A and B are shown apart, each in its own frame.
Chain A
Amino acid sequence: MRRVVGSNYATSHAVMRARVEVIAAYPITPQTQMVEHIAKFINDGIMDCEYINVESEHSAISAVIASQAAGVRSFTSTASQGLALMHELLFSAGGLRLPIVMGVVNRSVGSTGGIWVEYNDSMPQRDCGWLQMYVETNQEVHDMILQAYKIAEDKRVLLPIMICSDGFILSHTVEPVELAEQEEVDEFLPKYEARHSYLDPKDPIASGIVTPREYRQEFAYQIHRAMLEAKDVIGEVNRDFADKFGRDHSGLIETEFVEDAEVILLTLGTVTSTARGVVRELRKKGKKAGLVKVRAFRPYPAERIAEVCKDARAVGVYDRSVSFGVGGPHYLEVRNALFDSDVPVIDFIGGLGGRDVAEADVRSMYDVLLEAAKSGKAKRNIEWVNTRGVVLG
């Protein structure tokens, strides 16, 4: 069924189709409509699910960790301050290997910030043992919620996953979205059978018991291994999904014009759409520009990035978050991926607090990259795009 909807509706609809059985969530702009849509689906009798109207995000994540630990497919969603409030429990979800899916509608967190998109809510959560995928369109949000359960529940993974979407740019913009039918989803996503974590008096287990130093390290190592395995699983699930639904989101990364590209810009989220226009325009002018949309931030597809960028003469990284005094979190990943390459890698920090990243901004990023490709050197490694008091390049 094709409908013109925002990403919060697309997500809620996919959650219903995934036959999620326990949801606990708390409203926060720009995610609020998600809790409202789901409450309405349940009240209209079209969704059969336990919905816990908790009193905070801390309780939302606590409740879904418990229900998922008990062996029931669970969902929550949040943004910004709500995700920060959940932080403590994110480690428990990862540590207990619970395949919870969370919709994160990205928004800046803390002072001085407002209600608009920035990745300083989700990116600081990267070490909690959750997979993180970033999306570009409302269709992709919808599709990734369905894929997320299949990825997270795969026995090679068994880790929670966040599907991160740009606040307002996606949540409050309507687009035509193909909403999956129940039969199709049932064929794609089987009913969840808990094999490792269930709380059943017939077969008692201890979930989350305090673990002394003799054992903790091996648990951590297994999470690391599962995160690495998830790279294959993300690709496999994408192919399954493409076969079933005819929409291919190309797994860990998606590329445009990278084969012979001299300069490559790596983006995340909706800025990709803007960059697609710019890179096409540059190609028309004969400039060898390429674009990589990075979809997975955890696990980070370092090998794929290294392979794609191996012949480039300059690589740019778009960051919508800052690790102060160092650079963008995405930039650090790319530097790590390209550690044995001597091409200039330049970080472009911009769009913080929801500031628009316009075509002109992306063009200026490519200008800096083309310049660096010529000289073989970056003037500066960390560039602040469209920032008062800063001159680029």
Chain B
Amino acid sequence: MRLKLKDLPEENIFSSGHTACAGCGAAMAIRNIAKVLGKEIIIYVPASCLSVFNGLFPSCAWTVPYHHTVFENTGAAISGLSRAMKRKGLDNVTVVGIAGDGGTADIGLQALSGAAERNEDVIYICYDNEAYMNTGVQRSGATPHGASTTTTPVGKLTKGKQDFKKDIPLIMMAHSVPYVATASVSFPLDLINKVKKAKETKGFRYLQVYAPCVPGWGYEQSKTVELGKLAVECGMWFLLECENGRLKINREPKMNNLETYLKMQGRFRHMDEKQIAELQESIERKWEFYKGYAELTQRLYGGSEASV
């Protein structure tokens, strides 16, 4: 049965009192995700904004067991936790890692890939704010083309990131794990139902959640949800779900309004027509790719619906 927002409990698992910026997309998403996951969970968080805004000793916003060691080991740490739960006979406990895009796409990719290959019984959630925010907005593999960060600044020679966003969900699909999905803080119904599905699935589950960042992207703090919606509309982010190899597109993008999306954010403000055209071309190619991929995998793995 599909969850509705009103089905979520009043009580927070990720409680108030955390120290995220006002309007933080990640904090909003995590609050809802945790409500769906419930209390029978163990959370691992690597170094990231979350590892700081979830509280410093002696406070902690998590009301469930929490573990943290370093930046690049989420895949391995949740593997260890999951095996320990198995030994303790606590099969009802879900082990969940929540990492940033840097901790996922860059420095933690190896450990993530290993855990996925072993099909560890865990949920890995990447909140994607498209840069290293904790250390003050440096580029990550998930930073989109054109975005200016402190390490891809707007200068005389180049303006913003020259490379393109690394497609981690696709990399995870290539691992043939039971569940890979993308979601966004701006589509809470879609998000909570994907979390629910992930929770009900066994084996390795990967979820990447689009999470706008106020200071990192340079926008008005009240615009987080609007920005996330625009991203899905213009094709800068797709809502996808891949179950046992079969890809489904949850929402058809309109593939328009890219400029509106870009103009709302400081990180893209410098972009000229040529750069915007390059970006537009790249997301259109991506969209064509995913449509074809959905068709192909449905043919290979069965099922008929191309979208929800």
Q: Is B60 part of the binding interface, using a Cβ–Cβ cutoff of 8 Å?
A: yes
Q: Is B58 part of the binding interface, using a Cβ–Cβ cutoff of 8 Å?
A: yes
Q: Is A223 part of the binding interface, using a Cβ–Cβ cutoff of 8 Å?
A: no
Most buried by A among B64, B68, B83: B83
Q: Give every chain B residue within 8 A of A206 (Cβ-Cβ).
A: 57, 60, 62, 65-68
Q: Give every chain B residue within 8 A of A266 (Cβ-Cβ).
A: none
Instruction: Find out whether the CB atom of B68 lies under 8 angstroms from the CB atom of A50.
Output: no
Q: Give every chain A residue within 8 A of B68 (Cβ-Cβ).
A: 206-210
Instruction: Find out whether the CB atom of B76 lies under 8 angstroms from the CB atom of A62.
Output: yes
Contact of A62 among B51, B58, B69 (CB under 8 A): B69
Q: Is B56 part of the binding interface, using a Cβ–Cβ cutoff of 8 Å?
A: yes
Q: Is A72 part of the binding interface, using a Cβ–Cβ cutoff of 8 Å?
A: yes
Q: Is A52 part of the binding interface, using a Cβ–Cβ cutoff of 8 Å?
A: yes
Contact of A89 among B39, B66, B70 (CB under 8 A): B70
Q: Give every chain B residue within 8 A of A22 (Cβ-Cβ).
A: 80, 83-84, 87
Instruction: Find out whether the CB atom of B72 lies under 8 angstroms from the CB atom of A58.
Output: yes
Q: Is B77 part of the binding interface, using a Cβ–Cβ cutoff of 8 Å?
A: yes
Instruction: Find out whether the CB atom of B83 lies under 8 angstroms from the CB atom of A67.
Output: yes
Q: Is A69 part of the binding interface, using a Cβ–Cβ cutoff of 8 Å?
A: yes
**Shortest CB distance A281–B (Å):** 51
Instruction: Find out whether the CB atom of A52 lies under 8 angstroms from the CB atom of B60.
Output: no
Q: Is A128 part of the binding interface, using a Cβ–Cβ cutoff of 8 Å?
A: no
A107 to B277, CA, bound (A): 55
Q: Which size bracket describes the interface of A in this complex?
A: 35 or more
Q: Looking across the interface, which residue of chain A has its beta carbon closest to that of B77?
A: A66
Q: Is A32 part of the binding interface, using a Cβ–Cβ cutoff of 8 Å?
A: no
Q: Give every chain A residue within 8 A of B64 (Cβ-Cβ).
A: 201, 204
Q: Is B28 part of the binding interface, using a Cβ–Cβ cutoff of 8 Å?
A: no
Which of B2-10, B40-48, B179-187, B216-224 binds A? B40-48
Instruction: Find out whether the CB atom of B93 lies under 8 angstroms from the CB atom of A52.
Output: no
Q: Which residues of A in the span 22-78 have a Cβ within 8 Å of any Cβ on B?
A: 22, 24, 50, 52-56, 58-60, 62-72, 74
Q: Is B140 part of the binding interface, using a Cβ–Cβ cutoff of 8 Å?
A: no
Instruction: Find out whether the CB atom of A52 lies under 8 angstroms from the CB atom of B73.
Output: no
**Shortest CB distance B68–A (Å):** 4
**Shortest CB distance A227–B (Å):** 21
Instruction: Find out whether the CB atom of B40 lies under 8 angstroms from the CB atom of A201.
Output: yes
Tell whether A208 pairs with B76 under 8 Å between CB atoms, given A59-B114, A71-B84, A215-B58.
no
Q: Give every chain A residue within 8 A of B75 (Cβ-Cβ).
A: 59
Q: Is B118 part of the binding interface, using a Cβ–Cβ cutoff of 8 Å?
A: yes
A22 to B113, CA, bound (A): 20
A58 to B114, CA, bound (A): 12
Q: How many residues of B contact A (CB 8 A)?
A: 45
Instruction: Find out whether the CB atom of B69 lies under 8 angstroms from the CB atom of A92.
Output: yes
Instruction: Find out whether the CB atom of A55 lies under 8 angstroms from the CB atom of B111.
Output: yes
Q: Looking across the interface, which residue of chain B has its beta carbon closest to that of A209?
A: B57
Q: Is B271 part of the binding interface, using a Cβ–Cβ cutoff of 8 Å?
A: no
Q: Looking across the interface, which residue of chain B has its beta carbon closest to that of A50?
A: B83
Q: Looking across the interface, which residue of chain A has its beta carbon closest to that of B85?
A: A70
Q: Give every chain A residue within 8 A of B84 (Cβ-Cβ).
A: 21-22, 50, 66-68, 70-72, 74, 199
Tell whether A55 pairs with B44 under 8 Å between CB atoms, given A62-B77, A88-B70.
no
A200 to B75, CA, bound (A): 20
Instruction: Find out whether the CB atom of B79 lies under 8 angstroms from the CB atom of A63.
Output: yes
Instruction: Find out whether the CB atom of A212 lies under 8 angstroms from the CB atom of B42.
Output: no
A149 to B72, CA, bound (A): 28
A368 to B69, CA, bound (A): 48
Q: Is A358 part of the binding interface, using a Cβ–Cβ cutoff of 8 Å?
A: no
Q: Is A211 part of the binding interface, using a Cβ–Cβ cutoff of 8 Å?
A: yes
Tell whether A208 pairs with B118 under 8 Å between CB atoms, given A22-B83, A65-B80, A199-B81.
no
A56 to B80, CA, bound (A): 14
Instruction: Find out whether the CB atom of B81 lies under 8 angstroms from the CB atom of A67.
Output: yes
Q: Is A332 part of the binding interface, using a Cβ–Cβ cutoff of 8 Å?
A: no
Q: Looking across the interface, which residue of chain A has its beta carbon closest to that of B93?
A: A201
Q: Give every chain B residue within 8 A of A92 (Cβ-Cβ).
A: 69-70
Q: Is A4 part of the binding interface, using a Cβ–Cβ cutoff of 8 Å?
A: no
Q: Is B260 part of the binding interface, using a Cβ–Cβ cutoff of 8 Å?
A: no
Q: Is B274 part of the binding interface, using a Cβ–Cβ cutoff of 8 Å?
A: no
Instruction: Find out whether the CB atom of A58 lies under 8 angstroms from the CB atom of B76.
Output: yes
Q: Is B55 part of the binding interface, using a Cβ–Cβ cutoff of 8 Å?
A: yes
Most buried by A among B42, B65, B110: B65
Instruction: Find out whether the CB atom of B90 lies under 8 angstroms from the CB atom of A209.
Output: no
Instruction: Find out whether the CB atom of A62 lies under 8 angstroms from the CB atom of B40.
Output: no
Q: Give every chain B residue within 8 A of A54 (Cβ-Cβ).
A: 76, 79, 114
Q: Looking across the interface, which residue of chain A has its beta carbon closest to that of B81?
A: A66
A207 to B65, CA, bound (A): 8
Q: Looking across the interface, which residue of chain A has its beta carbon closest to that of B83?
A: A50
A310 to B118, CA, bound (A): 57
Q: Which residues of B in the span 72-102 have a Cβ within 8 Å of any Cβ on A?
A: 72-73, 75-81, 83-88, 90, 93
Instruction: Find out whether the CB atom of A63 lies under 8 angstroms from the CB atom of B42.
Output: no
Q: Give every chain A residue within 8 A of B85 (Cβ-Cβ).
A: 70
Tell whether A199 pairs with B67 under 8 Å between CB atoms, given A21-B87, A50-B87, A65-B80.
yes
Q: Give every chain B residue within 8 A of A199 (Cβ-Cβ).
A: 42, 65, 67, 81, 84
Q: Is A205 part of the binding interface, using a Cβ–Cβ cutoff of 8 Å?
A: yes
Q: Which residues of A in the span 157-216 have a Cβ within 8 Å of any Cβ on B?
A: 199-201, 204-212, 215
Instruction: Find out whether the CB atom of A52 lies under 8 angstroms from the CB atom of B80.
Output: yes
Q: Looking across the interface, which residue of chain A has its beta carbon closest to that of B42?
A: A199
A60 to B77, CA, bound (A): 9
**Nearest 7 pairs between A and B by C-beta?**
A66-B80, A63-B80, A59-B76, A55-B114, A70-B84, A62-B73, A62-B76
Interface residues of chain B, those whose CB is within 8 Å of chain A, are 39-42, 44, 51-52, 54-58, 60, 62-70, 72-73, 75-81, 83-88, 90, 93, 110-111, 113-114, 117-118
**7 more CB-based (< 8 A) A-B contacts, given A59-B75, A63-B76:** A54-B114, A55-B110, A58-B73, A58-B111, A63-B79, A200-B65, A212-B56
23 CB < 8 A contacts A-B: A21-B87, A52-B79, A55-B113, A55-B114, A59-B73, A62-B76, A66-B69, A66-B77, A66-B78, A66-B84, A69-B67, A69-B81, A89-B70, A96-B69, A201-B41, A204-B62, A205-B66, A207-B66, A207-B68, A208-B69, A210-B51, A210-B57, A212-B56
